[in-house]
Amino acid sequence: VKELSSHLAEFTVIDVRPPSARAHAPFPHPHRVLDESSHDQFAALPKDTRLAFLCHHGNSSRQAAEHFRGLGFTQVHNVEGGIDAWSTEVDASVPRY
């Protein structure tokens, strides 16, 4: 999370959490949401787009990152610790759940 916070402008941050989790603890920077309706839009991005996947603790985002690596993306990152680590290590104003 600290690396991402230092390089936010370089990444397309993709939140993979369900709507209720995003509503409770929104990521406070520009980002996009991965769901069934947006998957194809992301898959069509240039394969060298720097993607950073975010979830609650880093497990669901890891799966999403691996999926996009499998689609041929070369700059894929998992935000280890997820929004929970963001709250404790970067921005305490983000609620924990």
Active-site residue set: 55
Distance (Å, whole) CA 49 – CA 93: 29
Contact residues for 2 (Cβ-Cβ < 8 A; gap 6+):
89, 90
**Sign of the CA dihedral with 64 first, then 50, 20, and 5 last:** positive
Other CB atoms within a 10 A radius of the CB of residue 17 amount to: 21
CB 53 within 8 A of CB 78: yes
**How many Å is the Cα radius of gyration of the chain?**
12
